[in-house]
Structure 1
Amino acid sequence: MYLKIWMKKWLWSILICVSLLFICFLLLLLTTVKQNEEPSNKYVINQIRLQVNNVLLYIEDHFTSFEQNLNLRNSLQEMSNSLDIDITIVQLDGKIIFNSIEEDPSQFISLKNDLHYDLFTSQQQPGIIKIAFPIVSKTNEQLGNAIFTIDKDVLFPMEQPSTSIFSILFLSGLICFLIIGLAIYITRKANKEILLPLNNLKKSTEEIVKGNYEQKTEYPRVDEIGELYAVFDQMRLEIKNLTIQRDEQEQNQKKLISSISHEVRTPLTTIKAYLDAISEGICPDMDSLMSYIQIMQTNTEKMSRLIDDLFIHTLKELGHIPVNLTEQYSKDVFTNILHPIHHYVQTTGIHFIEPEYIPNVLIRADEHRLEQVLSNLITNALKHTSKGNSITVSINIENQLLYINVIDNGNGMLPEDMPFIFERYFRGIQATSETAVKNEGAGLGLSICKHIMEAHNGSISFKSKQNIGTTFTLTLPII
């Protein structure tokens, strides 16, 4: 709104300035014209002298004969008529000896009141100029006075106003009109192409603040405002996706807390039950006691794995999973990892097949983190296999990469689960089925495995077919 008000003020300021400028120019032009129309007294007297010079010379040459010579008087009358000037000849004593407008002129005039050597304009008859010139003989003796009465229009014929003045006035008006029109056009265009789109963008922003991410912003032109609209719409979609991800994450975290609460409660309940049995002396012999202890140990390990997964997941969320890469030989690393896993798998009744040959190449690795990855993959394989099935680990080199394959011939994955297995919290549809007890876990393992392998500049991938089995493949670069 502030920008709109500012533009209105800006437009009015331009209009006022242009109007004042035009008025000042018009007043200046009128003043100039008026000054040209009203010449100075000195200029007027000079013009009159030029106009009547021949007449005045004629009078001076024949002054002594005017009163008696009718021909001279008639000649002077003709001059008066041809020049459209009234002529009065007066002697030094004020006696009129010739008057071009009166056949029987007054005999005398008042030299004090009617004789003026300077410019005199009759107040009773505006536009009439009345001036006297002395009549001088050849010996420079003043003989009398000649009074000339001239119409100002005769002396200064009405001229058509200068074409240049009209041109300047027209051009000035045209320029002012163009400036005003341009200001109005710019204001309207700015209002249509800047203020209105910005106002629409503001409304869309308010909708986003309210949580409505579905209102799409569109702008038909490909310009700076159009680019702003495009970036804004990308931002809207990004915020929408982030909001959906946040909501999904919050929902998954709630499910995770519920799942962990249940999964921790189960082994704790089991441990408590066996401890109560031992404390009450229910165990009949040492073999039964050792069996109880074995069961409690198994449940303790389950809780420990859950807590370890949650701890590593928390570090991953904070971006703080430490992976300390050092140069090591692959044979030593994987021998140390697979030997204890072999013993553990054998106790479950699953046949574990170690690699026949482990390539002895130099790699950059964190043995502890790789052990977590392989343990997680083999633990997942155990969840999907039954007694009599097998888990195979093979290691080979191809294209300067070390490939580690973990293969089982268990149940395999459901096709609908495959796109999501590396997402955190995902436990698969089987986690809610009748096999849920077997598929215990927080759904964090594979997400953490992916993070660890990427920290090794390697990768993790899989292929699976239901009721046939699953193969996970790890790759590590060879130095």
Structure 2
Amino acid sequence: MSHETLRRLVIRSSAQWWVASAAVVSLATGVALLLAQVLLHPPAGDLIELGVYLALAGVLAVAGCWAAARWMERRSVLGLRGQAILVALLGSATSIATILILAELMFISGDHDLQVLLAVSTFSAVMSVFLTSWVTSRTLARLFVVTRSIRDLAEGNLEGVTSMRGSDEVAALAEDVNTLARRLAEARAERVALDAERRELTAAISHDLRTPLSTIRAVVDALDDGVVSDAVGMKRYFVTIRRDVDRLNRMIDDLFELAQIDAGALRLQRDRVALREIVGDVVSAMRPRAERAGLTLDLDVTGETRPALLDGDRLERAVSNLLRNALEHTPPGGRVSVSVAESEDHVSLEVADTGEGIEPAVLPHVWTRFYRAERSRMRGDTGSDGAGLGLAITKGIVEAHGGTVGVTSQPDVGTTFTVRIPISE
């Protein structure tokens, strides 16, 4: 909250307080005059004079209370208990002054009655101060609990405030502190998880980048030492270098794409295109790879899918990641089935395989970057970069389109990934 906004709130609160004070003084004076008229039937002149004195006493009491409060705020000489007692004393003084005014106006007959009223008023003043102090002490004790909890929060103790009885403002404040403690605890847990993920990311990047670089270095050293000199051998070495360079390039592209997704800077270049066309192109490009691996790759399009505003390049990458993942985890002789369908408001894609499946304990983590189950760490010669970023990028791209991703799996039976994207007009 800015200083100017706070200043405006203070001014508005002060104005409201003065309006309320004027209303209370007017109401109290009117009620007192009404009772005096009903009970005593004084002359009109006395009634008017009584009203003037009562209104003046009320104004002086309010002004004195305001001046005392301002003085205490600036000097900080009294705490809340002292301020409450001072207000009680001012109220009692106002009551006694009113009695003296009534005696002066001859509304109280005799010194005896005046002395009795003064004694009763003094008793009421003492009781008022005591009860005000008692209530204020109880409130301050509860506020102390909240204050101590806030200090604990500042020191890192996120246990919050114990359950506080009541439904007043202090109880509401305690509940707000509890809510703050819970949110801070959640933020701390997220930060710890993020730090752990960052460490894992650094280790994973180091490992996954070191592997192709080591291969390239070994092949270059072999060529430099003249290990091979025939054209066939050199071509085989150059193919290895090109494959690992492409692998590094894919990994760097994945890291850059993921950084954009995390930063919320992924900008979609939407165009009117049908998802079946994107999926058809990916399947056609992947079919030779599936045949080399001894797999059957099918594509099924249900009905005519309408063109929608999609980023074709991004979605092609997402579909490629899903299909590449299915091919990598399906043994020879297996089947990978891709299906595209459309409903009234969305288009869906399913990539199902008859591969190794995913353990139930692993399934919630498949969208986590750099996460690979132990069975998945054993990569074959399928050209996989093994970085573990593909599914995380797929999820980010689909969600950037306003869609959702899902996965179901049964170990040793197969896995099905599902993508649903709304049709944007």
Same fold (TM over 0.5): yes
Deviations 1:369-413 (A, max 9, x none): 111111111222233223333322122234453221111111100
| Structure 2 unmatched ranges of 5 or more | 1-72
Q: Which has the larger radius of gyration?
A: 1
Structure 2: distance between partners of 1:382 and 1:374: 12
Kept in 1, the 8 Å contact 2:305–2:342? The answer is no
Kept in 2, the 8 Å contact 1:358–1:396? The answer is yes
What SS class does the counterpart of residue 79 from structure 2 fall into? helix
Kept in 1, the 8 Å contact 2:160–2:178? The answer is no
Among residues 408, 416, 425, which one is paired with 1:471 in the alignment? 416
Structure 1: distance between partners of 2:420 and 2:306: 13
Report sequence identity in percent: 24
Among residues 121, 124, 143, which one is paired with 1:178 in the alignment? 124
Q: Which amino acid aligns with 1:251?
A: A
Structure 1: distance between partners of 2:314 and 2:186: 32
Report the equivalent of 1:214.
159
Q: Which amino acid aligns with 1:294?
A: V
After superposition, residues 100-111 of structure 1 pair within 5 angstroms as none
| Structure 1 unmatched ranges of 5 or more | 33-161
Q: Which amino acid aligns with 2:228?
A: C
Give, in angstroms, the shift of residue 360 of structure 1.
4.3
Structure 2: distance between partners of 1:434 and 1:343: 22
After superposition, residues 7-46 of structure 1 pair within 5 angstroms as 7-12=81-86, 14-15=88-89, 18=92
* TM-aligned CA distance change 1:356 to 1:282, over 3 Å: farther
Q: Give the count of matched residue pairs.
A: 346
Report the equivalent of 1:401.
346
What SS class does the counterpart of residue 283 from structure 1 fall into? coil
Among residues 73, 79, 84, which one is paired with 1:5 in the alignment? 79
Kept in 2, the 8 Å contact 1:330–1:358? The answer is no
Q: Which amino acid aligns with 1:186?
A: T
Kept in 2, the 8 Å contact 1:354–1:392? The answer is yes
What SS class does the counterpart of residue 232 from structure 1 fall into? helix
Report the equivalent of 1:274.
219
Structure 2: distance between partners of 1:172 and 1:346: 108
Aligned: 1:189 with 2:135:
yes
Structure 1: distance between partners of 2:398 and 2:226: 50
TM score, norm. by length of structure 1: 0.64
Report the equivalent of 1:314.
259
Kept in 1, the 8 Å contact 2:92–2:121? The answer is no
TM score, norm. by length of structure 2: 0.71
What SS class does the counterpart of residue 222 from structure 1 fall into? coil
* TM-aligned CA distance change 1:171 to 1:447, over 3 Å: farther
Report the equivalent of 1:288.
233
Deviations 1:308-343 (A, max 9, x none): 221112112211111222222344333333332333
Report the equivalent of 1:297.
242
Select between 371-380 and 353-362 the one with higher mean Cα deviation.
353-362
What SS class does the counterpart of residue 205 from structure 1 fall into? helix
* TM-aligned CA distance change 1:11 to 1:223, over 3 Å: closer
* TM-aligned CA distance change 1:208 to 1:437, over 3 Å: farther
Give, in angstroms, the shift of residue 258 of structure 1.
0.6
Kept in 1, the 8 Å contact 2:158–2:182? The answer is yes
Give, in angstroms, the shift of residue 236 of structure 1.
0.7
Give, in angstroms, the shift of residue 416 of structure 1.
0.2
Report the equivalent of 1:414.
359
Among residues 374, 380, 399, which one is paired with 2:319 in the alignment? 374
Give, in angstroms, the shift of residue 284 of structure 1.
4.1
Give, in angstroms, the shift of residue 4 of structure 1.
6.3
Kept in 2, the 8 Å contact 1:459–1:476? The answer is yes
Give, in angstroms, the shift of residue 180 of structure 1.
3.6
Report the equivalent of 1:165.
111
Kept in 1, the 8 Å contact 2:204–2:387? The answer is yes
Structure 1: distance between partners of 2:141 and 2:161: 16
Give, in angstroms, the shift of residue 221 of structure 1.
0.8
Q: Which amino acid aligns with 1:175?
A: S
Give, in angstroms, the shift of residue 3 of structure 1.
9.2
After superposition, residues 209-248 of structure 1 pair within 5 angstroms as 209-248=154-193
Kept in 2, the 8 Å contact 1:413–1:464? The answer is yes
* TM-aligned CA distance change 1:17 to 1:458, over 3 Å: closer
Select between 201-210 and 347-356 the one with higher mean Cα deviation.
347-356
Report the equivalent of 1:201.
146
Structure 2: distance between partners of 1:462 and 1:16: 72
Give, in angstroms, the shift of residue 466 of structure 1.
0.3
Structure 2: distance between partners of 1:475 and 1:251: 31
Give, in angstroms, the shift of residue 347 of structure 1.
4.3
Give, in angstroms, the shift of residue 368 of structure 1.
0.9
Deviations 1:74-104 (A, max 9, x none): xxxxxxxxxxxxxxxxxxxxxxxxxxxxxxx
Give, in angstroms, the shift of residue 250 of structure 1.
0.6
What SS class does the counterpart of residue 300 from structure 2 fall into? coil
* TM-aligned CA distance change 1:372 to 1:265, over 3 Å: same
Structure 1: distance between partners of 2:84 and 2:149: 28
Structure 2: distance between partners of 1:216 and 1:18: 37
Give, in angstroms, the shift of residue 183 of structure 1.
3.4
Structure 2: distance between partners of 1:164 and 1:225: 48
Structure 2: distance between partners of 1:397 and 1:13: 73
Kept in 2, the 8 Å contact 1:4–1:191? The answer is no
Among residues 256, 259, 262, which one is paired with 2:204 in the alignment? 259
Kept in 2, the 8 Å contact 1:385–1:411? The answer is yes
Q: CA RMSD in A?
A: 3.3
Q: Which amino acid aligns with 2:222?
A: A
Structure 1: distance between partners of 2:378 and 2:138: 65
After superposition, residues 66-77 of structure 1 pair within 5 angstroms as none
What SS class does the counterpart of residue 167 from structure 2 fall into? coil
Select between 410-419 and 306-315 the one with higher mean Cα deviation.
306-315
Kept in 1, the 8 Å contact 2:302–2:342? The answer is no
Give, in angstroms, the shift of residue 187 of structure 1.
3.1
Structure 1: distance between partners of 2:388 and 2:378: 17
Kept in 2, the 8 Å contact 1:363–1:476? The answer is no
